[in-house]
Chains A and B, each alone.
Chain A
């Protein structure tokens, strides 16, 4: 079926440059290149040109998209109005890309800064070499640390099973990481980081590596949630996690005042 190794065609060379060849054919092409230095120089130049093209157009890929584009993708605005209205309405919203249900995000209030959130966004939240109880039962360790009952969120009703847990961060700023997977194999991650303060805050949204990152404080724990699902689903999960917290885990607080208003999307 395949060409004999000595019959390397121009199509093979093109596909080799673009990394589209199966390993076996790639080896044959590499053997061919080893014997034909002129062709090898040409192919090396093509590969370098591809690299150069990627570098030339790196900036528009990395920079934040302008609000006029992200505004279009704000679901609630689209739902209630036409395109012109969307642009106008969304111009006032800071977090246009991730702006979700009406009233959920107060666009004008600056978000609180929490180390775990910043680390997730920066991609610097590495596994922590935990020992003993911290490594074996991270959630129980967290409960001890904050002196409150806490358990891994139960998300089976929403279709998610806990499949992994561990500790990330640093010795001074550890966080528990829980991994859940749904039936489709899509994963979400929940981070819980203890803090020396109390109180509650509304669910806030940031972007981290192209995914929505939702976070909130619940008593002495900062919760962060991200995953390979849409922000609407993440929001429902975040609300379920927050509402599930056992009564003794959080002091009486004006939670109702910080709850999102009914979304216009439902």
Chain B
């Protein structure tokens, strides 16, 4: 019973795991990552403490699997597929900023991986900074500084060519850091 209840709790996180994996890998690679994560989580499910945060536990496993596979393959795995991306958020000409989704996808793609990982984890999954720090194995100050630098880069890259607050737009970074 307990085992199956734990598996059910794991199953409920599947859509979120797939979503976060998609920010780390391309489509097929993301499901490979989730599969490895699930296998590891199921093997180690007796290590999960009842009552603790299942989501954070699974995300930590997912991220560790991601890092170890990067180390073994030494590749840059991530690219947001631009095929189907269109549309925008916000409203043009209004107080609400207008963001083209395609532009945002490219800007995310250009971010250093360590910044993108923090930004997407917090934006998509609503994790607190201490939870995100735990998932990513870094301290909270590092979470904040990556978040801050990454957001500045995204703001500049999605400003539609217009510099914000009178600042010059820096060149977008093209080299991604791989752990």
Q: Which residues of A contact B (CB under 8 A)?
A: 10-11, 14-15, 17-20, 38, 41-42, 44-46, 48-57, 59-62, 65-66, 68-70, 72-73, 75, 78, 83, 97, 210-212, 229-233, 265
Report how far A11 CA is from B145 CA in the complex, Å: 9
Contacts of A68 in B (CB 8 A): 31, 35
A-B contact list, 14 entries, CB within 8 Å: A15-B129, A19-B126, A42-B165, A48-B96, A51-B99, A52-B88, A56-B101, A56-B105, A57-B19, A57-B23, A65-B15, A65-B34, A70-B11, A73-B14
**A55 proximity list for chain B (CB < 8 A):** 87, 89, 101
* Residues in A neighbouring B80, C-beta threshold 8 A: 56
Distance (Å) between the CB of A72 and the closest chain B CB?
5
Q: Is the CB of B4 within 8 A of A75?
A: yes
Which residues of the other chain, B, contact A265 by a CB distance below 8 angstroms? 4
Given contacts A52-B158, A56-B104, A66-B31, 16 further A-B contacts (CB under 8 A): A14-B147, A18-B126, A45-B155, A45-B159, A48-B99, A52-B99, A56-B80, A65-B14, A65-B18, A69-B31, A69-B34, A72-B38, A72-B39, A78-B42, A211-B12, A233-B1
User: Which residues from A are CB-within-8-Å of B129?
Assistant: 15, 20
The answer to whether B151 and A49 have CB atoms under 8 Å apart is yes
Contact in complex: B1, A73 (CB < 8 Å): no
| Chain B interfacial positions (CB closer than 8 Å to A) | 1, 3-5, 7-12, 14-16, 18-19, 21-23, 27, 30-31, 34-35, 38-39, 42, 80, 84-85, 87-90, 95-99, 101, 104-105, 108, 119-120, 122-124, 126, 128-129, 144, 147-148, 151, 154-155, 158-159, 164-165
Chain B residue nearest to A65 in the complex (CB):
B14
When the two chains form their complex, are residues B5 and A44 in contact, meaning their CB atoms are under 8 A apart? Answer: no
Cα distance A18–B130 in the bound complex, in angstroms: 13
Give the interface SS of chain A, mostly helix, strand, loop or mixed. Answer: helix
Minimal beta-carbon separation of A9 from chain B (angstroms): 10
Q: Are B15 and A49 in contact (CB under 8 A)?
A: no
Tell me the minimal C-beta distance from A239 to chain B in angstroms: 14
Given A41-B165, A73-B10, A265-B4; A57-B99 close (CB under 8 Å)? no
Contact A61 B11 (CB under 8 A): no
Chain B residues, Cβ within 8 Å of A14: 144, 147-148, 151
Say which residue of A10, A44, A56 sits within 8 Å of B108 (CB atoms): A56
A69 vs B18: C-alpha distance when bound (angstroms): 10
